[in-house]
Amino acid sequence: MKTITKIIATSAAVVALLFTTNANAQAPQRLGIGLNVGIPTSDQYKLSLGADIRYQFDVDKQLSIPVTAGYTNFSGKDIEGTNFKWDNYGFIPVKVGAKYFFDPSGSGFYGLAEVGAAFGVTPSGAGTGFLYSPAIGYSWSNGIDLGVKYEGNTANPTNLIPKPQGQVALRLAYGFSL
């Protein structure tokens, strides 16, 4: 079942990317590279770090369709007074969404909503989960983008604590037109 989920999520992302590229060959397209630093919402992790690449095509000046993929790692905490340390949790997020700029110029403040899959990499057997990510941010016309997001993940990286993982993260990115 986990393999089927991975195949479906990857196929959906590829189809969305190909559909949007072919359907809007004349629409402006952008590529962005971002770094994410966050605070996990689960007690067993202390910090999350990640990087991503976002392909984005503009439907019009205010509405864009982003497809994002990258890598995120949650650093496990040490349990005080014991020799126990939570395993790090690493996953590959693959998401598609909608980004709406509140200014008609296509820059400035925006809202973003993405959904997709988190493919667990570490620890072994981390599995795949549903990923959702609402965000707000500000994009400057020179390509710099600063956003704050919540990213929820239904994957269960360990069998010790069966609860969803999440993070509140800051994303700093640079985007350029293709």
Q: Note the pLDDT tens digit of each residue in 35-72.
A: 999 999 988 899 999 999 999 999 999 999 999 999 99
Mean per-residue pLDDT, 75-90: 87
C-alpha dihedral (47, 122, 95, 13), degrees to nearest 10: 170
- Specify which residues 49 forms β-bridges with: 37, 73
Q: Hunting for tokens 């503009």 — which residue is that?
A: 58
Q: What is the per-residue pLDDT for 4? A: 52
Is residue 11 within 8 A of residue 117, CB to CB? The reply is no
Q: What is the per-residue pLDDT for 9? A: 55
Q: Examine the pLDDT at 20 and tell me if it is beyond 80.
A: no
Identify each DSSP E strand in 10-164 by its residue range.
29-40, 45-58, 63-76, 89-101, 108-122, 128-139, 144-153
User: Which CATH number does 2-177 carry?
Assistant: 2.40.160.20
The pTM of this model reads: 0.82
